[in-house]
A and B are shown apart, each in its own frame.
Chain A
Amino acid sequence: DIQMTQSPSSLSASVGDRVTITCRASQSISSFLNWYQQKPGKAPKLLIYAVSNLQNGVPSRFSGSGSGPDFTLTISSLQPEDFATYYCHQTYSTPLTFGGGTKVEIK
C-alpha cells in the first residue's frame, strides 16, 4: 500500500497568514494527488485534483504543487472559513489511501 504522510498534524494560524501543508508519498504516485477540506460534521470537499488543478468554485487562495514524493497545499491568505481539517489523497493505485489529516486552528 502507498502510505501518505501529512505534516504537520495540526497548526495554529491567524487570519491572513500563509499556510503550507505537506504530504509525502511512500512511493511514486505521478500526479495522482488530491486535496480535500473537511469541516466538523460535514463531508470532505475536493479542493485540488491532480496536484495543482483547482476544483470549480474553490477560491484562488488555495493552490497545490509538488512532484513525487512531496506535495504541498498552500493557502495564501487564511480566511475564517478555512479553519478545518485538510487531507491529501492518492489515486495512483488501489488501495486508495489518505493522509492522516492536518487540523488548521485559530491562533
Chain B
Amino acid sequence: QITLKESGPTLVKPTQTLTLTCTFSGFSLTTSGVGVGWIRQPPGKALEWLALIYWDDDKRYSPSLRSRLTITKDTSKNQVVLTLTNVDPLDTATYSCAHTYNTLTAFDYWGQGALVTVSS
C-alpha cells in the first residue's frame, strides 16, 4: 500500500533554511503521471499548497513562495525534498507531503505531517 512520511527539524530559527524530506513507499516516481506535493497548515488555519513534482521532473510552485521554495526528487531513495529559505515565524505550520496519481488530480494519500516551529 502507499505510505508517505515527512521528516525534518521541529524547530528552526528565523532566516534559516528549512529542509523537509518525504520518504514514500508503494509507488514509484518514475511511473507516468505520478506526482508528490507539499501542503502546509498553520495551527488552526486552512490548508495551503506549496509545491508539486511529477514523474518527469515537471515542477510547480506556489507563486507567493516561489522565490523561497525548491522541490527535488531522488527516485533511487523514494524521496522528495522540499527546501524553504529565509524562514519566518509565519512559516510555522504542519508540513505534509501527498501523492497524486495524475496531472492536476486530487491528493489521494497523505503523510501524517510534521510540525515545524520557527522561533528564535
Q: Which of A1-36 touch B at CB < 8 Å?
A: 1, 32, 34, 36
Minimal Cβ-Cβ distance residue in A for B37: A96
Interface size on A, residues (CB 8 A): 25
Q: In the complex the two chains form, is B49's CB within 8 Å of A87's CB?
A: no
Write out, one digit per residue, whether chain B residues 27-59 have a CB within 8 A of any chain A CB (1) or not (0). 000000000010000000011110010000000
Interchain Cβ contacts within 8 Å, total number: 59
CB distance from B88 to the nearest CB of A (A): 20
A99 touches B49 (CB 8 A): no
Min Cβ gap B77→A in Å is 22
13 A-B residue pairs with Cβ-Cβ distance under 8 Å, sorted by A, are: A32-B104, A43-B112, A44-B47, A44-B96, A46-B106, A49-B106, A50-B105, A50-B106, A87-B46, A91-B106, A98-B47, A98-B48, A101-B46
Write the residues of chain A forming the contact surface with B, with a CB cutoff of 8 angstroms. 1, 32, 34, 36, 42-46, 49-50, 55, 87, 89, 91-101
